[in-house]
A and B are shown apart, each in its own frame.
Chain A
Amino acid sequence: MKMRASILPCLLLALLAACGRAPQPAAPAQAESSEAHHDDAPASTVIAPKVAAASGIEVAAAAPGVIADEHEIQGLLTPVEGRVAKVTARFPGPIRSLRAGVGDAVRAGEPLATIESNLSLTPYTIRAPIGGVVLERGASVGSVAGEGTPLYEIADLSELWVDLHVFGADAQHIRAGTAVVVTRMDDGAVAETKLERILPATASASQSTIARATLRNDDGRWRPGTAVRARVTVDRQPVAIALPLGALQTVDADDVVYVREGDVYSTRVVKLGRRDAQRAEILAGVKAGEQVVVVQSFLVKADIGKSSAEHED
């Protein structure tokens, strides 16, 4: 009897205590995550081809490529020194005629102005020293031109200088001969040229140096004084293996890519070399010809790392 009576409390206790147990979270992930802890994170996952296709995963063979080191630099168009001429009066005297206006194209030797010399009291003609376009007219008819008064400024704008402001480290590795793509900001017109020289001095206030290129002004719309955008290709290097940046992911501070073998996608820690806006050089970790995930590589990373994903609030 005693035993029987004591069974009830035991049963009830067991029962109620059992009921008080924690809810086992419904997450199926629990078991998984305890096996696959981050210390020994699994390095690969299996994704069926159909699922991979539906999720947009794409692979490409690792192959040689070219890495171009490019920089976007601001610059300004200026007339080429030596192709700008200032026309001045040789002898003082009243200006009798001015034959060219601002914007007129003049040929070398073309008469530009007539001045009556105060010394000889005879008019003499001033001719254009170079062919070009009149940029500025500094006098008017009837006024007296003093000795050395600039009458015209003529510039040959068939070629312009592009002065690019190069800062710090760039000044060290940008060299004459580097290809430059210059873009006009207002209409986006593009011209290609090469750097001619890096000027020797540095402006102390901005710590910048000028890299200069010459630009052919064929359409006449490149105007001195205009700010332009230039893309300088500092370097073009063919490399043994180049992968699109979309293939790269970072895991625990390591750069990795994902290589497909059959349906198995495995993590490869890679050593990166140079990189540009589109591609990166792979120094080690992947061999040429291996199938590397280039689109939706994040999805592969997510799948491998999913066991560590949890609800955090």
Chain B
Amino acid sequence: MLERIIRFSIRQRWLMLLLTLALLVAGAWSFTRLPIDATPDITNVQVQINTEAAGYSPLESEQRVTYPIEAAMAGLPGLDYTRSLSRYGLSQVTVVFVDGTDLYFARQQVAERLQQVRAQLQDGLEPRLGPVATGLGEIFMYTVEADPAARKPDGTPWSATDLRTLQDWVVRPQMRTTRGVTEVDTIGGYERQVHVTPDPARLIALGFTLHDVVAAIGANTQNVGAGYIERNGQQYLVRVPGQTADAEAIGRIVLDRRDGMPVRVRDVATVGDGPELRSGAATQNGHEVVIGTVIMLVGANSREVAQAAAAKLADANASLPAGVRATAVYDRTALVDRTIRTVARNLAEGALLVIAVLFLLLGNARAALVTAAVIPLAMLLTVIGMLRGGVSGNLMSLGALDFGLIVDGAVIIVENCLRRFGEQQQRLGRTMGADERFELAASATAEVIRPSLFGIGIIAAVYLPVFALGGVEGKLFRPMAITVVLALGAAMALSLTYVPAAIAIFLGGRVEEKENRLVAWARRGYAPLLAWSLRWRIPVVAAATAGVVACGVLATRLGSEFVPSLDEGDLVVQPLRIPGTSLSQAVSMQETLEATLAAFPEVMRVFSKVGTAEVASDPMPPSVADTFVMLKPRAQWPDPRKPKSALVAEIEAAITRLPGNNYELTQPIQMRTNELISGVRSDVAVKVYGDDLDRLARTAARIERVLRAVPGAADVRTEQVGGLPLLTVVPDRDALARYGLNLSDVQATVATAVGGEVAGQLFDGDRRFDIVVRLPEHLREDPAALADLPIPLPVSTNADESSRAAAWASGSPRALPLREVARVEPQLGPNQVNRENGKRRVVVSANVRERDLGGFVGELRQRIAAEVALPTGYWVEYGGTFEQLISASRRLGVVVPVTLVMIFGLLFMAFGSLRDAVVVFSGVPLALTGGVVALALRGIPLSISAGVGFIALSGVAVLNGLVMIAFIRRLREQGDPLDDAIVDGALGRLRPVLMTALVASLGFLPMAFNVGAGSEVQRPLATVVIGGIVSSTLLTLLVLPALYRCLQRDGARRRAGSDPA
């Protein structure tokens, strides 16, 4: 079968080349279409529902907004779970669907349900779906800032409000139209508002209420359309304009006519631009700016969209007034380009090394080129597959690809052909004819194709366990496995088709096939060593076994880490402050922090987003800020080779000295993804569900105490829910009754006075600004003044006898101070209310150190059941990564043995001999020893990257063993005695074994010492492969023949015990 394909390829060699060419074109085209991003997307399928509820405290927003929305989402098709958080002025419900649900389908379902909820919500509450984006969505950020010297036409400097207005009405509309952009989010500055701030004393003096002012403005700022009339065949539209144009016009609005005199708004209030009550701010290098974030649509090509956004920003800049500019501060293109550069460099270096090694060892430039061409071809084929399979190009999927390994099959084929050509020429004493050559090429290829195909198949099979990973690990590593398998498949296909065809075409004429000095020298050195090893085969095998055992022990001593975090090149410092930190306090603390960060010579730019942006997809309280630290390109660092971890440690040390901040250090994409996934990130989580927040907190505290006492618990913490300072205005119902006031009178007055009420809109061309009525700032901010807030008294119409009492010249008052009917008390309230699956919950989490997770969880369950009495209606659930860990281990526990059996089965198929299969199979643990030693020497912990290295290594080890044993067997079939066959076979395969080893390990050398983009994925992988290949080559060359020799002699006796399963 294989041979027929090979012969067909050689016969139709030109067709093959033509097809290859077509492939080249198709691949190049696919490459331009392939979505390329920096990291794989690990966001789950989720729909966020954000509802702004101005003025609602956490409890109110939970009760009035979150609960009805959450309840409506129950039972959606494909629903995984819902979670929600309710904060001051915001409710966010996140509906998570099972993986694989179509996002647009999910959104539609959610939108339908929302339609039903609308009726239950109070007027003015508008639930909105979050942007159609994933954790990779925030691809581009820009600041709008003014030159400090620049002045507006009226001579005043540009204020934060002006900048925000420019962003909202000039920059943002342009950016939004960029293809692939779903949303442009704004944070910072103040939205322009026209503030009408009545003086309460004047209101009382004139007998107006705040509501009168609101009503008067509302009634005098609207346009009305009045249909049309026809006149002489012409149609006239009728309109009655009433919009106010500026603050002055608002001031002229009449409140009432008293004694023939109009009383206008300006008589009781000041009208002017004022700052909104904002929920977020943005700073850069210590001063306030406005930051726009371009959010990419799901599935778009981040590089293209970021570039388009950058181009759009340049256009937008042209329309900004002189002295104001929009500057890109974060551009994903840089990261993506860096990723592409890394991949491109791997490709180029791989090709160069292969050519160099092949040329050195084969001494044939044409053969070297034919083999090297497999690299770009396999790459392009892979890209076609990735595009079809929906796998995006990123550091994970492309970064770990090593083409040295992938061309191994082709190397073996070319080497064998070349050797056979050389031998044939020598025998014939002339150059071969075309037909002779084709025939020989076919048979030489067929000779090694089976082992090399099996080798490739085995490498692919070793990746199977990776496919079995679920959750975040699965999303991270499956693309990597898919890509590698695709690349291997491509290489396999090419070995069958392109390689023989190209050999047939290009290796005509006199073939330069000479043992060059290097190989000859290696062979001279190898022969006595081989003889020695064969003579002392028992001790050699025993020593190897001991080595494997020792390394197994060593492996358990290595630390382990999850996925090495992908270096995005930039940092995010998240200062966490105590709940209740005010926005202006946070901004001033941010200034100190930014100054400290900017002092580092490696830092190019620091900017931060404090609190929640306009689109509340990341609802942070003002006490949390995202501080983006953009680093300079490495070349501009004082020490370009300084590892990033060292820099991070220095930064951390410096900022820890600043008072009042606690920090989390992450990276832009990582942070955003974490926010979206937002699961519990510790090993074990005890979730307490219940109704009453205080009881929940008390129960959680008890559970925390139990959890702490369980051996192995570390980093125990309870989710914080309280601590938000509230100023509660507690109405005194008796007093209200005495004065004949309604509760709502007090509530409405306080709400308007402190929070403000939108009375209408001011239009300025396309721009519109809210007209807000509220108290002057100096009164709003002072709790004592709040207590003096006048509450209008109802006009008493049915005065009875008892109301006669005191009638003074000064009349009786029309308003009374708030303190008469309510107490103003500072309190601590819930900072936020978290819910999951429709119930309030508090999480107590812990990590587990030096103890097996299963046992820990078992003991914990037992102790909590025994020691914590849960109130009725309260229950606990156990979650955390331990679930995934246990399910992953269980799955791997099945998949890994199955894979091993499969590999063994493949080997058995290849040889039809259990013994030989065992011999080749033994190469795997032998190869792993080198990897473990290399990791230990460099102090790198075990990680999935290292795991992938081990996987690749097992493949190479099997491949080499396979080829060598196959060769020895062929010699024996030809009738050579056992010992001769072993020696000749081993010596004969020295060159390809050395070649594959060199190609693979040299190709990884730069990666192993790389500090740039992608290095954290590649370094462990490269280290393992280099270490492993050194050991594997030594072992293939020395131990394998010895082992083979052992097994051949007393194989019959040991066969029974050799089954590896």
Interface residues of A (CB under 8 A from B): 1-34, 37, 39, 45, 47-48, 51-52, 54-57, 71-72, 74-76, 78-79, 81, 161, 163, 165, 167-168, 185, 199, 201-210, 226-227, 229, 250, 252-253, 277, 298-303, 305-313
CA A309 to CA B585, docked complex, whole Å: 15
CA A24 to CA B658, docked complex, whole Å: 24
Contact B803 A12 (CB under 8 A): no
Contact A29 B663 (CB under 8 A): yes
Residues of the B chain whose Cβ atoms lie less than 8 Å from the Cβ of A17: 885, 888-889, 892
Contact B563 A206 (CB under 8 A): no
Contact B682 A22 (CB under 8 A): yes
Contact B892 A21 (CB under 8 A): no
Residues of the A chain whose Cβ atoms lie less than 8 Å from the Cβ of B1059: 2, 5
CA A311 to CA B620, docked complex, whole Å: 8
CA A10 to CA B549, docked complex, whole Å: 11
CA A250 to CA B829, docked complex, whole Å: 13
Contact A250 B828 (CB under 8 A): yes
Q: Which residue in chain A gives the minimum CB-CB distance to B465?
A: A16
Contact A1 B1054 (CB under 8 A): yes
Given A33-B717, A34-B715, A206-B813, the answer on whether A26 and B806 have CB atoms closer than 8 Å is no
Interface residues of B (CB under 8 A from A): 85, 92, 199, 201-202, 204-205, 465, 469, 473, 545, 548-549, 552, 555-556, 560-563, 565, 574, 576-579, 581, 585, 588-589, 592, 618-621, 623-624, 652, 656-666, 675, 678, 681-683, 701, 704, 714-717, 719-720, 723, 725, 735, 738-739, 782, 784-785, 788, 790, 793, 796, 799, 802-813, 815-817, 820, 826, 828, 831-832, 834, 847, 880-881, 884-885, 888-889, 892-893, 896-897, 900, 918, 921-922, 924-925, 928, 942-944, 946-947, 950, 954, 1054, 1057-1061
CA A298 to CA B660, docked complex, whole Å: 8
Contact A277 B739 (CB under 8 A): no
Given A4-B548, A78-B810, the answer on whether A23 and B663 have CB atoms closer than 8 Å is no
In the complex, 8 of the A-B residue pairs with CB atoms within 8 angstroms, ordered by the A residue number, are A5-B921, A9-B896, A17-B885, A22-B562, A47-B659, A55-B658, A167-B820, A313-B92
| Residue from the set B548, B589, B715 with the largest chain A CB neighbour count within 10 Å | B715
CA A250 to CA B880, docked complex, whole Å: 34
Q: Which residue in chain A gives the minimum CB-CB distance to B661?
A: A306
CA A234 to CA B793, docked complex, whole Å: 25
Q: Give 9 closest A-B pairs by Cβ, nearest first.
A: A5-B1060, A227-B205, A302-B660, A18-B560, A163-B810, A22-B881, A19-B944, A303-B659, A309-B576
Contact A22 B885 (CB under 8 A): yes
Known pairs A37-B704, A201-B806, A305-B578; list 11 more (Cβ under 8 Å): A11-B925, A12-B947, A21-B561, A55-B660, A185-B205, A202-B805, A203-B807, A298-B581, A301-B578, A306-B577, A311-B574
Contact B810 A15 (CB under 8 A): no
The minimal Cβ–Cβ distance linking A243 to chain B, given in whole angstroms, is 16
CA A79 to CA B809, docked complex, whole Å: 9
Residues of the B chain whose Cβ atoms lie less than 8 Å from the Cβ of A45: 659
Q: Which residue in chain A gives the minimum CB-CB distance to B834?
A: A312
Contact A21 B560 (CB under 8 A): yes
The minimal Cβ–Cβ distance linking A172 to chain B, given in whole angstroms, is 13
Residues of the B chain whose Cβ atoms lie less than 8 Å from the Cβ of A199: 806, 808
Contact A302 B581 (CB under 8 A): yes
CA A256 to CA B1007, docked complex, whole Å: 57
Contact A306 B578 (CB under 8 A): yes
| Residue from the set B620, B717, B790, B793 with the largest chain A CB neighbour count within 10 Å | B717
Give the contacting residue for B943; candidates A19, A74, A309; CB below 8 A. A19
Contact B657 A309 (CB under 8 A): no
Contact B805 A310 (CB under 8 A): no
Contact A6 B659 (CB under 8 A): no
Give the contacting residue for B560; candidates A19, A28, A306; CB below 8 A. A19
Contact A313 B199 (CB under 8 A): no
How many residue pairs link A and B with beta carbons under 8 A? The number is: 312
The minimal Cβ–Cβ distance linking B805 to chain A, given in whole angstroms, is 5
CA A30 to CA B716, docked complex, whole Å: 9
Q: Which residue in chain A gives the minimum CB-CB distance to B926?
A: A4
Give the contacting residue for B720; candidates A6, A39, A310; CB below 8 A. A310
Residues of the B chain whose Cβ atoms lie less than 8 Å from the Cβ of A209: 806
Residues of the A chain whose Cβ atoms lie less than 8 Å from the Cβ of B725: 250
Given A31-B715, A250-B826, A300-B659, the answer on whether A11 and B555 have CB atoms closer than 8 Å is yes
The minimal Cβ–Cβ distance linking B818 to chain A, given in whole angstroms, is 10
The minimal Cβ–Cβ distance linking B385 to chain A, given in whole angstroms, is 25
Given A302-B577, A312-B621, the answer on whether A51 and B717 have CB atoms closer than 8 Å is no
Contact B828 A252 (CB under 8 A): yes
Contact B1060 A2 (CB under 8 A): yes
Contact A13 B581 (CB under 8 A): no
Contact B473 A19 (CB under 8 A): yes
| Residue from the set A18, A185, A203 with the largest chain B CB neighbour count within 10 Å | A18
Residues of the B chain whose Cβ atoms lie less than 8 Å from the Cβ of A309: 576-579, 623, 661-662
Give the contacting residue for A302; candidates B659, B719, B806; CB below 8 A. B659
CA A3 to CA B547, docked complex, whole Å: 13
Contact A311 B624 (CB under 8 A): yes
The minimal Cβ–Cβ distance linking A231 to chain B, given in whole angstroms, is 10
Contact A306 B820 (CB under 8 A): no
Residues of the A chain whose Cβ atoms lie less than 8 Å from the Cβ of B201: 74, 185, 227, 229
Give the contacting residue for A7; candidates B549, B739, B1058; CB below 8 A. B549
Contact B716 A313 (CB under 8 A): no
CA A306 to CA B580, docked complex, whole Å: 12
Contact B925 A4 (CB under 8 A): yes
CA A308 to CA B589, docked complex, whole Å: 18
Contact B578 A308 (CB under 8 A): yes
Contact B805 A203 (CB under 8 A): yes
Residues of the B chain whose Cβ atoms lie less than 8 Å from the Cβ of A226: 205
Q: Which residue in chain A gives the minimum CB-CB distance to B941?
A: A18
Give the contacting residue for A313; candidates B618, B885, B918; CB below 8 A. B618
Given A5-B1060, A20-B888, A205-B812, the answer on whether A26 and B681 have CB atoms closer than 8 Å is no
Residues of the A chain whose Cβ atoms lie less than 8 Å from the Cβ of B717: 30, 33-34, 37, 310
Contact B925 A306 (CB under 8 A): no
Contact B204 A74 (CB under 8 A): yes
Residues of the B chain whose Cβ atoms lie less than 8 Å from the Cβ of A311: 574, 576, 624, 664
Given A74-B201, A307-B662, the answer on whether A12 and B950 have CB atoms closer than 8 Å is yes
Contact B589 A299 (CB under 8 A): yes
Residues of the B chain whose Cβ atoms lie less than 8 Å from the Cβ of A163: 808-810
Residues of the A chain whose Cβ atoms lie less than 8 Å from the Cβ of B735: 168
The minimal Cβ–Cβ distance linking B574 to chain A, given in whole angstroms, is 6
Q: Which residue in chain B gives the minimum CB-CB distance to A167?
A: B820
Give the contacting residue for B664; candidates A18, A29, A57, A71; CB below 8 A. A29
Residues of the B chain whose Cβ atoms lie less than 8 Å from the Cβ of A201: 805-806
Residues of the A chain whose Cβ atoms lie less than 8 Å from the Cβ of B552: 7, 10-11
CA A4 to CA B892, docked complex, whole Å: 20
Q: Which residue in chain A gives the minimum CB-CB distance to B665?
A: A26
The minimal Cβ–Cβ distance linking B822 to chain A, given in whole angstroms, is 12
Give the contacting residue for A19; candidates B562, B815, B828, B880; CB below 8 A. B562
Residues of the B chain whose Cβ atoms lie less than 8 Å from the Cβ of A298: 581, 585, 660
Residues of the B chain whose Cβ atoms lie less than 8 Å from the Cβ of A207: 738-739, 816, 820
Contact A22 B810 (CB under 8 A): no
Residues of the A chain whose Cβ atoms lie less than 8 Å from the Cβ of B893: 13
Residues of the B chain whose Cβ atoms lie less than 8 Å from the Cβ of A39: 701
Contact B811 A24 (CB under 8 A): no
The minimal Cβ–Cβ distance linking A278 to chain B, given in whole angstroms, is 10
CA A7 to CA B847, docked complex, whole Å: 29
Contact A4 B545 (CB under 8 A): yes
Residues of the B chain whose Cβ atoms lie less than 8 Å from the Cβ of A52: 659
Q: Which residue in chain A gives the minimum CB-CB distance to B469?
A: A20
Given A205-B796, A302-B578, A303-B659, the answer on whether A54 and B545 have CB atoms closer than 8 Å is no
Q: Which residue in chain B gives the minimum CB-CB distance to A302?
A: B660
Given A8-B928, A306-B578, the answer on whether A205 and B947 have CB atoms closer than 8 Å is no
Q: Which residue in chain B gives the minimum CB-CB distance to A252?
A: B828
Residues of the B chain whose Cβ atoms lie less than 8 Å from the Cβ of A27: 662-665
Given A2-B1058, A168-B820, the answer on whether A15 and B947 have CB atoms closer than 8 Å is yes
